[in-house]
Amino acid sequence: MRLARGRIKIIVFPSPLILAVLLFCAAILLWLQFFPAVRPASIYYGYPLKGTRILIDPGHGGIDPGAHYEGSITEKEIVLVVGLELRRLLQQAGAEVMMTRETDEDVSRHIPGDPASRYQRDMGGRVKLINESGADLYVSLHINYFHDPSIRGAIVFYNSSRPENKLLAESIQKNINPVVAVNPRPDQYIHQESKVGDYLILNRATIPGVIVEMGFITNPDERELLCQDSYRQKLAQALLIGITEYIYSRKGP
């Protein structure tokens, strides 16, 4: 049938079920905007890390600021924020999580009466907590410092004495690389490979684990990112995915 004038417009309303689904999705998105703490790192079914015990070691703390920029941006503060967010995500996935510290403090008190310096006792305390934790793995979080400000990126260090360490390092490195390699410049070098490291924690730990240097505080671009809450959340999410992939690679099909 032809109409000489005008056109017929048909408006199709969604079925009640589809409309309900759309409204539910909109409500979830609105909820996540106002309550970001419940935002998951990814969508998964059930609790994929149930039965897994993980220890998180935010480096430094207390009188030891770690790497810092003009005294106002400190390694100890950045790694603690990322560590607490990582704990939340891991617990959300069903893991049992322990931490060497949850506040701005060192852990030298775990080595009482030792004549060594407070810094040495702090390192010894971390090793003690790691080895007595009964955890399946540990992740020690740090921020790097280098005299050349053009150097940036993350480096995951491991001890080569056991194959699990390398597997964990490679899994985390692979997942953190896309996060740290944002807006690269031709005059900058971005680390993107895990490395063998000769560090006290790596050498003395009796369970699998790695040290994650999540960026360089001496690089202006990376320093700016490390101060952003959204970026710190992305780092924690990358760590979560790397840890999860490692665990399932160990479990097999």
pLDDT digits (tens, 9 = 90+) for 167-209: 999 999 999 999 999 888 899 999 999 999 999 999 999 999 9
This prediction's pTM? 0.82
9 falls within a domain: no
- Alpha-carbon distance values, 117 to 113, 114, 123 (Å): 11, 8, 10
14 located within any domain: no
In a domain, 56, yes or no: yes
pLDDT for res 147: 96
For residue 20, what pLDDT is reported? Answer: 58
12 occurs within a structural domain: no
Tens-level pLDDT at each residue, the chain (253 residues) = 444 454 544 444 555 655 555 565 566 555 545 444 444 444 456 789 999 999 999 999 999 999 999 888 999 999 999 999 999 999 999 999 999 999 999 999 999 877 678 889 999 999 999 999 999 999 999 999 999 999 999 999 999 999 999 999 999 999 999 999 988 889 999 999 999 999 999 999 999 999 999 999 999 999 999 999 999 999 999 999 999 999 999 876 5
Q: Is 106 helix (H, G, I), strand (E, B) or coil?
A: coil
Whether 26 maps to a domain, the answer reads no
Instruction: Identify the DSSP state of 36.
Output: G
d(CA 96, CA 28): 27
In a domain, 167, yes or no: yes
Q: Which domain holds residue 98?
A: 47-251
pLDDT computed for residue 38 by the predictor: 42
At position 141, the amino acid (one-letter code) is: L
Residue 143: left if φ>0, alpha if ψ -120 to 50, beta else—which one? beta
| 17 domain-assigned | no
Calpha distance 136→94 (Å, rounded): 14
Positive or negative torsion for Cα 40, 43, 46, 51: negative
The tally of domains found in the chain comes to 1
Is the alpha carbon torsion for 170, 174, 176, 177 positive or negative? positive
Amino acid at 172: I
What phi and psi values does residue 189 have, to the nearest 5 degrees? -110, 125
Q: Is residue 29 in some structural domain?
A: no
Find all residues with CB under 8 Å of 162, minimum gap 6, and list them.
Answer: 208
Query: Per the structure block, which two tokens stand in for 176?
Result: 């953190």
| Count of Cβ atoms closer than 10 Å to residue 67 Cβ | 22
Task: Give the C-alpha distances (Å, rounded to integers) separating 19 from 10, 26, 32, 41.
Answer: 18, 11, 20, 27
- Give the whole-angstrom CA distance, residue 108 versus residue 133: 17
Secondary structure letter of residue 61 according to DSSP: B
pLDDT at 242: 98
CATH number at residue 234: 3.40.630.40
Phi, psi of 233 (to 5 degrees): -65, -40
What pLDDT does 213 receive?
98
Long-range contact set of residues 12-20: C-beta below 8 Å, sequence gap at least 24? none
178 contact partners, CB below 8 Å, separation of at least 6: 238
